[in-house]
Amino acid sequence: MARTVREWPEVIFAPRARGGSGRARRTVDSMSVTIGRVYDDVPPGVTRVLVDRLWPRGIRKGDPRIGQWCKEVAPSSDLRQWYHHDPAKHDEFTRRYRDELGSGEQAAALACIRQLAEHGDVELVTATKDPAISEVPIIVEEL
């Protein structure tokens, strides 16, 4: 299935089907954050952070592809179940998720990821089939 390249402010996702690396990269004030899938190989010298609320299928605890698990930054269960990765709901999902990221445990978790990114390269990973319509690009934009 061919996918199109999706662009966000300063974030470009280049799917493997188009010959890209399958990762998006954003650099802001010496902060480098990439987007990947948990099933991808681990790039050297990168701290990986799983940002899904649910543990990915087929991955054992302690798998080196995971790195750290920051489920607190993920969308709430209610929002995640409502959205269900429906592209038609993506704009509303983005608005609601940004509201969630502004307060509570999600804001604190976002600050922790920001701090990690200030000290080195970070890759935010997800188990979703299409990271372009997941929560990950929204997290990157908020950093």
- 93-114 pLDDT, tens per residue? 999 999 988 888 888 888 888 8
pLDDT at residue 4 tops 70 = no
Tell me the C-alpha distance between 26 and 35, whole Å: 9
35: phi then psi, degrees, rounded to nearest 5: -120, 135
Q: Please answer whether residues 83 and 66 qualify as being in contact, where contact means their C-beta atoms are separated by less than 8 angstroms.
A: no
Find the mean pLDDT for residues 21-38: 65
Find the mean pLDDT for residues 111-126: 88
DSSP H or E segment with residue 77: helix 77-83
Find the mean pLDDT for residues 29-43: 81
